Every structure is written in structure tokens, then in C-alpha cells.
């Protein structure tokens, strides 16, 4: 543990701005003296006490509730003091300053400061201490931030499920099974003449198979959880006046983008996040793709291509009302060629045939090989539900939210690493005359990758990145 982790810390624990209630939180060892100095009385553990908060001169700053949680039965595992006052930013700053001042003040009974070294908390430091003091594991700590940042109800419920330990329990079960297999393999290394029979009798191959099957199930749920957290970035692309801005407005249910008959109205990206069955979908409207002499429009078109290159999926919008025009088809073909050149093959392109209301009975256009397609009207809303279903399909959404826990991209990457090491372990075990030292090493690496998810095996750099994304008072 770094030296700073032993410092007592204080911070405003509620969001900036005005509110009915604001909280100042202090965490450290032996806070009883500070609580007495701040509140003028002894606080009973885990019992709210209504009292005035006074400055050093005895003048009331505010009146509110004080709660004292002696460690280890607290959020951080240390002593925690919370002062709940009215939520004005000036009041809370005065209370925070008073806490720091009282911590440095000398206790007449001991001649020492009430709480030496009390300082402002860094982002995420309260939750970091909860992790370091074994109150939560790393996946649960991340779930706290995900619960705060959740943009949909499904994401919030899934984050809550991870916070209660649903994801961690599955990781621990995998790790325990992996440790059992490792012990079995490593125990045979000292008995080279009997090792193969011993592993066969212990069904090492069956244990490894069960591990791979369980891992696949966990990976599936983790991918769904990562999708709930991260969402999918969808870019609407196509020629000017194909109805891109109208489609954005229709999907969002609001007039976000300006719609006019004038080609080139959209000059820059317009983005809105919607949700489809709880999955966040970040929809980006872009400038119409064409050759232009207008400098501003050219910049917008360049930005459109940048957005397309970073997309998880592209909606290629076609205008049915102009489909009979040879020039329009040629320009669409040029965009098609550019998409094929600039987009990775893993990024799906969905053909969207717009303005079916303008061309009643329009013949369905054949989709490109392996591509999804939908006919719709951005103006009337016809076909929008079909498009929403296709977006969920290309995103890979399969599970109902009730069965999913929140997960992050790093969790999915770690699980993929575990999968690779288990596959290498299986190859070693199936080989003629397997090298058991290599098999044991692959199992060890798989265990390390699993342990990195919950923080039992992680670097200080990783912890710094994770907790720096938290708010100050958390």
C-alpha cells in the first residue's frame, strides 16, 4: 500500500451545484476525536444526530445530520464521518474547510493534532480504499462508477447486479476450478513416469473442457454487459438530401437536426444517444457525401468519413425517390466503393431504403451479399421498428437485461486472454507426450488473467486509471 493510502482524507461527496442536501465525507483511522471537535459531542456509531455545525469561533455554519461509522464497518473499511447539510456549494465548502482546519487543530488532551495529515481526497479515493481494505473487489468498484454513469434503466440494474457480486462470484468460481486443475497438473511434475495415467484418471481433460464451457457462458454474459455499458456507435451516411437528418430525428423522437430541401444543410456531426431495449445507441448524423467546392462543406464531409471510420455500424441511406436517376446511382456506387475501402470488414453496413412513402409499392432492392437491409420512411415512421431490431442484431444483443451483469471492455479482453490460454493448455494436454510444464504455465497465465478482473492480480497503473475516472467524493 502506498504511503498516501494511510492519510486521512476529506471531500464533498455530492455532485457540484445546488441541492436540498449535500454531504461532506471524512475517512481515516481514529476519527472519534475529530468528530468530537467538529460536533461538540460524542457521536453514537451508525446513528444520525441532528446538531449545528460550527466554525472555529463557535459560529454556526449550518445545521444538519452527523453520522459516524467506526471501521471496519464502513464504506471504506476505515472510520468514516459524514456531515449532511443543506446542499449549497458555499455551505459545503465552508464545512469542508472546517474539517481540514479541525484536523490540524491541537487536541488539548494530547497536545497533538486531532487528525494529522488530513487532506483533500483524490478522485475515486474513497472507493479505492474500500477496495484496498477488502470491502469490495475491483469489479465491484468499477460497478459503482457504472451505476452512477448508467444511461439506461437496464444498465443501472445490471450495474447493481455486478455491485452485489454476481459477476465476481462467477469469476471466483472459474478461478477456483482453474486452481484445482493447476494443483493436479503441478502435482504430477515430480512423477514423470506416472503423470499421464494420473491425469487421465483424474479426468484432467474433462475438467479443462468444463472450464472452457463455463468460460464461454461467462464471456457471453460479459459481452452483453459491456454492450449495456458502452452501447453501440451508429453513423448515418449517404448522399445529401437522402433523409439522414430526418432519420436521426425520427429515431430520437425530437427535432435535433435541421431538415431542409437544400442539399448540404448538415455541415457537421449531430449526435444523440437513444436506447433500444435498454441498449444505448449513439446515433450520429453526418454531412452528405459528395464532391463539393464549398470549403466548410468539405470539412464537414471529412469529419463524416472520420466518424464512419470509428463506427460500430453504418446506416447507408438510399433515396428511393431518386433511385431511377443514373447519376444518383453512380454516386451511391462511389460511396459504396469508398465504404468497402475505408471500413474494416468487421463493421456491419446496413442498407436503409428511405422515402417509401414517396414511392408507393417501390420494389425491394436486393441487399449486398451478407448485409441487412430495411425499407422505411423517416417522415412517417414506417419501418423504424424493423431498423431498431436490426441494430440490436448487429450489435450482438441476445440476453434479457434481468440475466446480465455490467461489464467493461477490459473484462471482456481478460476473458478472451483466459480463453486463449485454456486453448493452448488443451493443445498441450492433447499432444503426443504433452509437456506438462508448459501446460502448467498456460493454466497459471489463465489464472492471472482471471484474477486481474477482480483485482487480486493487478498493477498500480491499472488501479490509477480505473479510480481516476471516479468523482472526487466517491
Known binding-site residues for Mg(2+) equal 245, 266
List the Cα angle 22/24/25 in 5-degree steps: 135
d(CA 43, CA 65): 11
3-state class percentages of the chain: helix first, strand second, coil last, to nearest 5: 45, 15, 35
The DSSP call for residue 277 is T
What is the pairing mode between strands 279-285 and 49-54? unpaired
d(CA 27, CA 10): 6
The DSSP call for residue 358 is T
Q: What is the dihedral of CA 151, 153, 159, 163, to 10 degrees?
A: 130
Binding residues for (6S)-5-formyl-5,6,7,8-tetrahydrofolate: 25, 82, 135, 474
Q: How many residues does the chain have?
A: 474
Cβ partners under 8 Å of residue 324, min gap 6: none
Residue 165 and residue 49 in contact, taking contact as beta carbons nearer than 8 Å: no
Find the farthest-apart pair of alpha carbons in the chain and give their distance in angstroms, rounded: 93
Residue 351 and residue 368 in contact, taking contact as beta carbons nearer than 8 Å: yes
Q: Which helix (H) or strand (E) holds 177?
A: helix 166-187
Binding residues for K(+): 241, 260, 262, 265
H helices present in 310-459, as ranges = 326-342, 384-395, 409-430, 436-454
Binding residues for GTP: 241-246, 260-266, 285-288, 377-379
d(CA 444, CA 448): 6
What is the pairing mode between strands 19-28 and 79-87? antiparallel
Binding residues: 25, 82, 135, 241-246, 260-266, 285-288, 377-379, 474
Only one residue has cell 488501479, namely: 463
The DSSP call for residue 323 is T
Cβ partners under 8 Å of residue 341, min gap 6: none
Amino acid at each position: 500500500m502506498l504511503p498516501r493510502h494511510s492519510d486521512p482524507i476529506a471531500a464533498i461527496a455530492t455532485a457540484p451545484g445546488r441541492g436540498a442536501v449535500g454531504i461532506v465525507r471524512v475517512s481515516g483511522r481514529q476519527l472519534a476525536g475529530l468528530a468530537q471537535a467538529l460536533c461538540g459531542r460524542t457521536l453514537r456509531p451508525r446513528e444520525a444526530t441532528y446538531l449545528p455545525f460550527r466554525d472555529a469561533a463557535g459560529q454556526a455554519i449550518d445545521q444538519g445530520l452527523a453520522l459516524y461509522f467506526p471501521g471496519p464497518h464502513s464504506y471504506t473499511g476505515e472510520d468514516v464521518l459524514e456531515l449532511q447539510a443543506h446542499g449549497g456549494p458555499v455551505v459545503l465548502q465552508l464545512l469542508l474547510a472546517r474539517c481540514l482546519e479541525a484536523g490540524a487543530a491541537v487536541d488539548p488532551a494530547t497536545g497533538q493534532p486531532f487528525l494529522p495529515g488530513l487532506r483533500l481526497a483524490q478522485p475515486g479515493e474513497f472507493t479505492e480504499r474500500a477496495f484496498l481494505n477488502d470491502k469490495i473487489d475491483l469489479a465491484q468498484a468499477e460497478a459503482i462508477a457504472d451505476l452512477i454513469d448508467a444511461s439506461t434503466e437496464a444498465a443501472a440494474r445490471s450495474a447493481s447486479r455486478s455491485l452485489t457480486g454476481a459477476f465476481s462470484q462467477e469469476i471466483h468460481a472459474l478461478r477456483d476450478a482453474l486452481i484445482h486443475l493447476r494443483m493436479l497438473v503441478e502435482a504430477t511434475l515430480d512423477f514423470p513416469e506416472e503423470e499421464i495415467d494420473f491425469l487421465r484418471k483424474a479426468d484432467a481433460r474433462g475438467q479443462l473442457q468444463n472450464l472452457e464451457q463455463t468460460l464461454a457462458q461467462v464471456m457471453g454474459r460479459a459481452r452483453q454487459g459491456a454492450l449495456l455499458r458502452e452501447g453501440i456507435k451508429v453513423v448515418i451516411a449517404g448522399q445529401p438530401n437522402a433523409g439522414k437528418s430526418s432519420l436521426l430525428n425520427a429515431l430520437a423522437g425530437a427535432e435535433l437536426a435541421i431538415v431542409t430541401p437544400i442539399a448540404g444543410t448538415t455541415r457537421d456531426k449531430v449526435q444523440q444517444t437513444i436506447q433500444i431495449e435498454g441498449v444505448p445507441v449513439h446515433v450520429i448524423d453526418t454531412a452528405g457525401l459528395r464532391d463539393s467546392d464549398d470549403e466548410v462543406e468539405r470539412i464537414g464531409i471529412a469529419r463524416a468519413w472520420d466518424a464512419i471510420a470509428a463506427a460500430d455500424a453504418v446506416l447507408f441511406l438510399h433515396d428511393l425517390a431518386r433511385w431511377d436517376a443514373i447519376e444518383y446511382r453512380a454516386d451511391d456506387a462511389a460511396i459504396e466503393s469508398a465504404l468497402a475501402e475505408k471500413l474494416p470488414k468487421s463493421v456491419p453496413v446496413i442498407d436503409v431504403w428511405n422515402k417509401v412513402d414517396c414511392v408507393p409499392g417501390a420494389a425491394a432492392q436486393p441487399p449486398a451479399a451478407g448485409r441487412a437491409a430495411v425499407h422505411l420512411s423517416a417522415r412517417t415512421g414506417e419501418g423504424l421498428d424493423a431498423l431498431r431490431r436490426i441494430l440490436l442484431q448487429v450489435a450482438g444483443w441476445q440476453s434479457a437485461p434481468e440475466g446480465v451483469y455490467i461489464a467493461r471492455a477490459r473484462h471482456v479482453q481478460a476473458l478472451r486472454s483466459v480463453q486463449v490460454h485454456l486453448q493452448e493448455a488443451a493443445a498441450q494436454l492433447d499432444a503426443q507426450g504433452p509437456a506438462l510444464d508448459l501446460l502448467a504455465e498456460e493454466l497459471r497465465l489463465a489464472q492471472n488473467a482471471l484474477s486481474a478482473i477482480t483485482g487480486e492480480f493487478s498493477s498500480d497503473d491499472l488501479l490509477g486509471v480505473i479510480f481516476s475516472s471516479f468523482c472526487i467524493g466517491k
